[in-house]
Amino acid sequence: MVIFLDIFVFMYPSLFKGIVNVSFLVVMFSGYFLSSQEEHKTDSFDLEVKKKIEQYKSYSYFYKAGMFFIENNWDSTLVYSMRHLNTTKQNIELANYSHYFRGYSLNEKKLYQEAQKEFDLVSSEFKFNFIVKKRLAEIALEKDEFEKAISYLIPLTKLPEEHYKYFKKTEVFQNLGICYIHLNEFDKAESYLSESTKLSKERKDTLKIISAYGNIAALYYNQYKDDLAIPYFKEAYELSKNIDNFETKRIATLNMAVVEENRKDLRKALEYRKEYEKWKDSLNDQNKIYEVAQIEKAFAVKQKQQEVNLLEAENKSKIRERNGLLYSALTLLILLGVALYYYKEKSKANKIIVAQKEDLDALNATKDKLFSIVSHDLRSSVNALKTSNNKLLDNLEAKNLDALDEQLQNNSAIVNGAYNLLDNLLHWALLQTNQSYFEIAPIRLFSIVEQTAYNYKPLMLENNIDFKNDVLKSDSIFADQESLKIILRNLLDNAIKFSKPNGTIKVYTQSTNEKYCDLIIEDSGIGMQESTRLALIEDTISLAKKENKNSIGTGLGLQLCKSMIKKNKGKLDIESELGKGTKMIVSLPLKA
């Protein structure tokens, strides 16, 4: 919209001719006056800002600054753009936008010096730097720095066409023309104003055409070319009849009144004055209506804001309630999880305790049974030895040499049995308390069998038992030597104990597995039932019951053998049939 200054005392008398008894004509059209009243921001630029703040929505201060900029809320724009600049400086693009928001807002608040400082902080890489140059040109115009304004405006005349969707190209040429008028460079002023008029006509922008005509008229009036200026005033007046802008109508009519007064046609001047007053009153009425509309709009906005605030408060309350329920549910789940965890741990611990109790009960039962059997058998052995000694004394007095020899052999058997019992008990106790020395090493089986059997040959001769060591001298296994001797001693002792007179005991090896060597102690004794065989090879800590009442034993020897075989990483198997003898098969590893 073109602005004609509505005053009758003009501050620049050199621009106009003085007329006696008539009012001075004010026809100085200024592009920067136009820009100050025309809406600077375009929908295109607001769309660019909206895209940018949506892209960087996580930057809350920048987002709010952009929203308030779009809403023309300059104070809030200044607050949040400064907060963004104070907290986030790593993104140059957003910093450029923030400085632009601040410069524009300060310019709208007519703080031109501060606005210029903010625009100067925008870097040259800013995508919309050409808009920044236009804003700086407008500030220079406000400060009457026309040469500086020209330095900003000239490059704007050469922009690509797509840039002019952010501001009108006619404004650039029009403001250049105004600058050159002030600098009295009328040829250049006419060139730019003519170009502005041409562009306005091409775009059929009536307001711009009126503005252009007014500026051209001012140009000619400034050069005392009334005959060239007046037709442009008339054309501007005629065009103003076709628009609804009261301010433009008022100014165009006023200028025609002044022109006619200068031409001494007072009748026409009076008609223009009356029309001027009419448009002035209409403008006042329009302004009042606009003010009322603005008040109503502000009230409606305030009411709407109150509703929004109420909804926000309700939403916050619901969010707090929802969060409270969520946190309560999470806390309850955590408590349930902890309780379930401790319940499982407690159940696991209880199971372990129950299992340990069962093992302990079994060990106690074994211990009680062991003590019972050992004490009974030791008592029997001692009692038998006591009885045998009494008979020995009687036969000694009677000098019965045959009976005396028999009693001595009987005493020797009783003592050997008791000794073996105590020896097994000692090794079993050491094994249970992990105090026995144990070392796996390669062992020749033949020599170990020979050494162990040597101690039992007198007993086997006495019972007329034939013994054979058929173990190959090349057979070698990996085991602990001392524990292997205990195993062989107990198995040979059992073989002798359960063999009949004139029986046979044979020790030999066989290979049925590439990992183990089977050492077999075979006797032709009384054998055992299948149930007894299965009970003996079962992996249990219970003691076997004594089936041969005439023998001294607790079952501890076999239990000790199984424990030591297991510790040597071997296996025990038994093959037996009642009345047909027994095979004790000890499988020992061939490699360590």
543-577 residue pLDDT tens: 554 544 444 455 678 888 888 898 889 999 999 98
474 sits in which H/E element: none
Other CB atoms within 10 Å distance of the CB of residue 220:
20
Confidence of residue 25 (pLDDT cuts 50, 70, 90): very low
- Whether residue 207 lies inside any domain: the answer is no
What is the pTM (predicted TM-score) of this model? 0.44
- Between these two residues, 583 and 557, which has the higher pLDDT value? 583
The contacts found for 192-201 with CB under 8 angstroms, 24 or more apart, are 193/219, 196/170, 199/169, 199/170, 199/173, 200/170
Q: Is residue 577 part of a domain?
A: yes
Which of 141-155, 231-245, 293-307, 499-513 is predicted least confidently?
A: 293-307
Domain assignment of residue 563, yes or no: yes
> CA separation (Å) from 141 to 30, 46, 134, 164, 177?
9, 25, 11, 20, 12
Tell me, rounded to whole angstroms, the distance of Cα 378 from its chain centroid. Answer: 74
Q: Is residue 578 part of a domain?
A: yes
Report the mean per-residue pLDDT for the chain.
79
Query: What are the tens digits of pLDDT across the range 509-556?
Result: 998 888 899 999 999 999 999 888 888 888 765 555 454 444 445 567
| Cα–Cα distance measured from residue 289 to residue 362, given in angstroms and rounded to the nearest whole number | 106
Distance CA 20, CA 2 (A): 28
> Cα–Cα distance between 2 and 209 in angstroms, integer?
9
Mean pLDDT of 503-507: 93
Is residue 561 a part of any domain in this protein? yes
The Cα–Cα gap between 153 and 430 comes to: 108
Total domain count, the chain: 1
481, part of any domain: yes
Q: Which of 95-99, 384-388, 460-464 has the lowest mean pLDDT?
A: 384-388
CATH number, domain at 508?
3.30.565.10
In a domain, 496, yes or no: yes
Helices 445-454 and 481-497, packing angle to 10 deg: 50
Contact, 244 vs 14, CB < 8 A? no
* CA 157 to the chain's CA centroid: 53
* Domain annotation covers residue 362: no
520 vs 588: CA distance, rounded Å: 11
Give the domain extent around 505.
Answer: 435-589
Dihedral angle over CA of 443, 447, 452, 458, nearest 10: 180
Identify the DSSP state of 164.
G
pLDDT surpassing 80 at residue 476: yes
Confidence of residue 74 (pLDDT cuts 50, 70, 90): very high
